Structure 1
């Protein structure tokens, strides 16, 4: 199907696998989701700023870019808070699949707010996504957790907003873009922690610190660097195909390592969501 794999292919594959291993690390840090998100953005921003110094890359934001960057960073911060919160209430597989409805949700929002036409294929994606979400969240009353499902969908909404905001931004190197987003998101999350009087960061134990450092350095700085570096050299269809390694890795880990169970209804919902994603990314 593909020609011989190049360095950018391996970088994208590795980045997606790293993203897919995030959930077990989050579950080993017993603190608030906002604290984990703040630590992740802060550590990631510091590492990327150091990388930019070595590469001697600089870029100042114009007035119009600042507003877009703040909005995008706020959506990024909310995205991680809701996703980490979802991990606490539903299985990793369910949270991941709900989260990955974001690209399809972005299309729907584009249709509503920007009046972009929808194709029959896109409408089919919406229908499969809706049915898949219903099947995933349709559980016995004793096992149903509405909060976890809502948190997963909120994370998807924030991710969709990030995708929509990209259309208004001027081209910028991926490393610079990520560095700015993480830096602003860290500031916004820091303000949120102060306003909400969240002091859980002060109570993080030494045993949890390695997990938190790994989330910030490996799952954020390294993974995003690999992702954006590869994205500049890969075709869109190829990148879209590799992106499914993220939810696939997360789901496999949830079953094999976290020993999470999956009902027949949930399994059918996951299959439908995967089908919607493949249909969405398909290009002739």
Structure 2
């Protein structure tokens, strides 16, 4: 983590690779989603709290009541997003859930247009259309080797719901100004501990192996990976970040295929490629060739 300033791209790539294993950790833990997210938040809070204290980020004098309220609302949405995401693994597959969950940038655009009155371009509309076509293909609802069940459809709905909630977190986080992201995530995980404590199952037996996976989810995926990401983002360009982000779903797909014998079909692969291209198109502001040609013709007239 200390080499982020020297090798930020490598730092982010490793962080995304770690994040891509979260589905396997959740599956191997074998605990219900709510309890899993509770322990994720608890162990994540312990790690991030210690990290912020050691780095001198706490106490944070800039954390006003308004920022704390916004960070708390972020925490509620993030915890619900994680819960929906984890619950969907057992209903579909790690690969499909991860692919569909990555539709979140387009929900950010939609929220901006519908509620924040932001402008949207024809190019963005086209990329969004391509992305949602990708979701249809990746989900297996149209072309699939296996019959689509109600359980599978519920899993897809959970992925979309989790992605939407994550998009809300992204929008809310923009109002936190210069607050350190580690502090923001610490607020979110602390909210998760309080929010899920009444619903978590503390009476069920948790094996020693399961404890290892749960600690990994909290420390690796919520602590170390987040710190590595945040330390890398300021030192990288948007195109590099956009490309490296897709290490996450690629790792998840490989693990789902190699460990759990869940290969994705041709249609699902095409769906993932569509989502990836469309996401890069929106993030990098790609303009469609058709539009440029049309504009040129209009100018000649």
TM-score in terms of structure 2 length:
0.85
3-state SS in 2 of match to 1:232: helix
Q: Write out aligned runs for 1:1-284 (5 A).
A: 6-57=6-57, 58-60=59-61, 61-135=63-137, 136=139, 137-138=141-142, 139=144, 142-144=147-149, 145-190=152-197, 194=198, 196=199, 198-199=200-201, 202-283=204-285
Deviations along 1:113-143, one digit per CA (max 9) or x if unpaired, are 1111111221112101221222223247834
Contact 2:19 2:248 in 1 (8 A): yes
Q: What is the CA–CA distance in structure 2 between the aligned matches of 1:205 and 1:280, rounded to whole Å?
A: 44
Query: Which consecutive unaligned segments of at least 5 residues does structure 1 have?
Result: none
Which 4+ residue blocks in structure 1 deviate beyond 4 angstroms?
none
Q: What TM-score, normalized by structure 1, do the two folds share?
A: 0.90
Distance 1:51 1:125 in 2: 39
Deviation per CA, 1:6-35: give whole Å up to 9, x if none.
422221111111001111111011211011
Aligned-residue offset at 1:56: 2.4
- Which structure has the bigger radius of gyration? 2
Deviates more, 1:54-63 or 1:148-157: 54-63
Inter-partner Cα distance in structure 2 for 1:201 and 1:76: 25
| 1:237–1:283 contact (8 Å) kept in structure 2 | no
Shift of residue 161, structure 1, vs aligned partner: 0.5
Q: How many Å separate the matches in 2 of 1:204 and 1:236?
A: 42
Q: Deviations over 1:210-254 (max 9, x none)?
A: 111111111111111111111232223322221111111111222
- Output the CA distance in 2 between the equivalents of 1:105 and 1:226: 25
Q: How many equivalent residue pairs?
A: 275
Give structure 2 stretches of 5+ with no counterpart: 287-301
Q: Secondary structure at the match of 2:209?
A: coil
Q: For residue 112 of structure 1, report the CA deviation from its aligned partner.
A: 0.6
Give the Cα separation in 2 of the matches to 1:70 and 1:236.
Answer: 28
The whole-number CA distance in structure 2 between the counterparts of 1:55 and 1:132 is 42
Alpha-carbon shift at residue 39 of structure 1 (Å): 0.5
Distance in 2 between the 1:221 and 1:200 partners? Answer: 23
